[in-house]
């Protein structure tokens, strides 16, 4: 019996009372009657403001679209709000033409003014801290495109220099409603900040959240569910002229534990489930009886990793983010290399991922044409605890009579591993890391917190030591991961600097190799020749392998269980299940 099933058995009686009280089965019965799809998420949304959101637990893919969209099966760019676009010969001018008659979910017209407002007044606004600024910043300085409204349907972007990823970034950037948000952008709160920063929190009435995607928010009950209804003004129709989306409502159940996701799916209360490796065998055997299909989308496109907090900066009160003794360890390359050799990733693949995956070596997805494989020369770190010990002793560390690792000043090497609570596979990986490090004399303690709290520590307070985590990366365009790797990136968690030029962090600095990565990404955005771009991003991957700011674990398979009543499923690791949410339909419905 797997760990997940044991936990399910232990908690099943307790959950029966809770399930009865909350009547979740009524949602599933209602789904069959009123065209509802019942999904699950591990955490509450933190905001309904797209631009200020930093959490992966958001409803934005349901309620917003960008100018273009990415096909989840082929990665090809396709028209979305823009029906077409043109690019000048010098690659510096891109003109988008919006579809005729676009409307917001409140029925108001969506025009070029909304595009101008979204990019110029939100994404490029220096007073609004948003991760999406990284998508429109050209180069390593705060230089952005200029915009010009040609007419109500056409907007021209003029780039200061060729920026190859710009068009693909247009798929990731939602267009926001000027008529609903403009006043909040240009008015200040009592602290002198734009009111926009506190606009559209999760306590906002759903009818005030205006979108342009296939769905709109109908209700939100904290810690229970978000319900979305079909947007009557959504632009898309099928080939027969039928208004999309086909499915009337989405019920997004908030269920913190992935073990409980499994329990709810097996009981018939959920229509989909992200399949963890430990549950794959059980679910595969029950496919026919359970009336669902387990889809294999291939290797996941993101990275699973361990990283240390390399930040040598201080808080405004002069307190170091990281204990200086531990910071010296973490910033020692030999120490990081030893850790990489000490992790038995093959055991992790076999025991935690049930063999459903491959050892991971690169920050770029294997599906990408820019991926550099070990066979092509990428440096790798195979399990070798003796080599780990040799590196440590050569670097000045030593072992006492109890085989505990001490630094050159006699300090016991001990630190805390941070991991999110919502993912049992992630916790299991952290536990194994703890065990592996114990074999080379290091004591690692676990700190298991909710993911929203983890994000605050990583990107806000910066008070953490070691982290076992994951980051979703782009498949086709390497620059999509610049948020993580650029020294000024919004998710550059292992050495997170200030996100405001006006409030620099005392003592923070980017290393020479970080600056070289910055330079390579900038060079890659300017280069149009595919062969040269492969060389550029190959150098980037080699630097990561040499310097080890992050060391990778196991790249697991992307598996999804979906009820057979859901039709038009096009699942892949690239697009996931919901990239074509407007095309999904339920069996027996017209």
Structural domains of the chain, with CATH: 3-60+185-299+557-586 (3.40.190.10), 68-183 (3.90.76.10), 303-556 (3.10.105.10)
**Residue from 114, 123, 104 nearest 52 by CA:** 123
Query: What gap in Å lies between CA 333 and CA 328, rounded to an integer?
Result: 10
Structure tokens at 469: 């985590």
Nearest partner of 330 among 353, 313, 307, 304, judged by Cα: 307
Distance from C-alpha of 580 to C-alpha of 238, rounded to nearest angstrom: 12
Identify whether the C-beta of residue 247 lies closer than 8 Å to the C-beta of residue 36.
yes
Tell me the C-alpha to C-alpha distance, in Å, between residue 326 and each of 137, 322, 373, 407, 550. 34, 7, 33, 10, 17
Per-residue pLDDT of the chain (590 residues), as tens digits, is: 333 333 333 332 332 233 333 344 444 444 445 699 999 998 999 999 999 998 888 899 999 999 999 999 998 999 999 999 999 999 999 999 999 999 999 999 999 999 999 999 999 999 999 989 888 988 767 789 999 999 999 999 999 998 988 999 999 899 999 999 999 999 999 999 999 999 999 999 999 999 999 999 999 999 999 999 999 999 999 999 999 999 999 999 999 888 899 999 999 999 999 998 889 999 999 999 999 999 999 999 999 999 999 999 999 899 999 999 999 999 999 999 999 999 999 999 999 999 999 999 999 999 889 999 999 999 999 999 999 999 999 999 999 999 999 999 999 999 999 999 988 889 999 999 999 999 999 999 999 999 889 999 999 999 999 999 998 776 778 888 888 999 988 899 999 998 776 678 999 999 999 999 999 999 998 888 889 999 999 999 999 999 999 999 999 999 999 999 999 999 999 899 999 999 999 997 65
Sequence-ordered list of residues with C-beta below 8 angstroms from that of 184, at least 6 positions apart, any chain? 194, 195, 196, 199
Question: Residues with Cβ < 8 Å from 535, sequence gap 6 or more?
Answer: none
Please give the Cα distance from 310 to 516 (Å, whole number): 17
Cα–Cα distances in angstroms (integers) from residue 383 to residues 342, 344, 366, 433, in the given order: 6, 5, 21, 12
């Amino acid at each position: 019996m797997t760990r997940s099933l044991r936990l399910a058995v232990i908690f099943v009686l307790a959950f029966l009372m809770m399930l009865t009280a909350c009547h979740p089965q009524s949602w599933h019965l209602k789904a069959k009657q009123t065209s509802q799809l019942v999904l699950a998420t591990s955490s509450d949304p933190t905001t309904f403001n797209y631009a200020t959101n930093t959490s992966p637990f958001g409803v934005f893919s349901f309620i917003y679209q960008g100018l273009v969209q990415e096909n989840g099966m082929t990665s090809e760019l396709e028209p979305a709000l823009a029906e077409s676009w043109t690019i000048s010969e010098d690659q510096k001018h891109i003109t988008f033409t919006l579809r005729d008659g676009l409307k917001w979910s409140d029925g108001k017209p969506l025009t070029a003014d909304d595009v101008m407002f979204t990019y110029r007044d939100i994404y490029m606004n220096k007073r609004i801290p948003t991760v999406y600024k990284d998508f429109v910043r050209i180069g390593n300085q705060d230089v952005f495109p200029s915009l010009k409204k040609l007419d109500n349907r056409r907007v021209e972007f003029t780039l200061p220099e060729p920026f190859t990823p710009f068009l693909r970034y247009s798929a990731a950037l939602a267009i926001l409603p000027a008529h609903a948000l403009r006043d909040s952008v240009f008015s200040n709160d009592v602290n002198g900040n734009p009111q926009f920063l506190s606009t559209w929190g999760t306590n906002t009435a759903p009818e005030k959240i205006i979108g342009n995607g296939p769905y709109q928010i109908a209700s939100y009950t904290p810690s229970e569910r978000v319900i979305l209804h079909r947007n009557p003004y959504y632009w898309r129709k099928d080939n027969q002229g039928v208004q999309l989306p086909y499915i009337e409502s989405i019920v997004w159940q908030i269920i913190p534990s992935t073990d409980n996701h499994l329990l709810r799916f097996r009981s018939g209360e959920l229509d989909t489930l992200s399949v963890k490796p430990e549950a794959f065998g059980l679910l595969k055997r029950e496919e026919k009886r359970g009336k669902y299909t387990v889809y294999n989308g291939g290797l996941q496109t993101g990275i699973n990793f361990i990283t240390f907090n390399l930040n040598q900066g201080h808080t405004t009160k002069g307190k170091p983010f990281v204990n200086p003794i531990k910071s010296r360890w973490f910033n020692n390359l030999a120490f990081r290399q030893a850790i990489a050799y000490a992790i038995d990733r093959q055991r992790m693949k076999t025991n935690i991922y049930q063999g459903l995956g491959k050892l991971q070596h690169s920050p770029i997805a294997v599906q990408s044409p820019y991926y550099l494989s070990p066979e092509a020369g990428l440096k790798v770190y195979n399990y070798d605890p003796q080599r780990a010990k040799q590196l440590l002793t050569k670097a000045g560390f030593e072992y006492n009579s109890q085989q505990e690792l001490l630094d050159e000043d006699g300090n016991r090497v001990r630190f805390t591993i941070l991991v999110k609570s919502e993912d049992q596979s992630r916790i299991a990986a952290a536990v194994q890391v703890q065990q592996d490090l114990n074999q080379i004399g290091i004591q690692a303690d676990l700190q298991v917190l909710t993911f929203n709290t983890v994000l605050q520590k990583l990107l806000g307070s910066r008070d953490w030591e070691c982290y076992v985590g994951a980051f979703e990366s782009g498949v086709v365009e390497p620059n999509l991961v610049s948020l993580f790797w650029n020294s000024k990136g919004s998710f550059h968690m292992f050495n997170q600097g200030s996100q405001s030029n006006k409030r620099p962090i005392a003592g923070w600095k980017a290393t020479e190799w970080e600056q070289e990565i910055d330079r390579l990404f900038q060079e890659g955005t300017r280069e149009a020749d595919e062969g040269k771009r492969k060389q550029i991003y190959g150098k980037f991957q080699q630097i990561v392998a040499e310097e080890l700011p992050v060391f990778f674990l196991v790249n697991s398979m992307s598996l999804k269980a979906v009820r057979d009543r859901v039709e038009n499923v096009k699942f892949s690791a690239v697009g996931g299940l919901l990239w074509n949410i407007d095309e999904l339909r339920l069996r027996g419905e017209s």
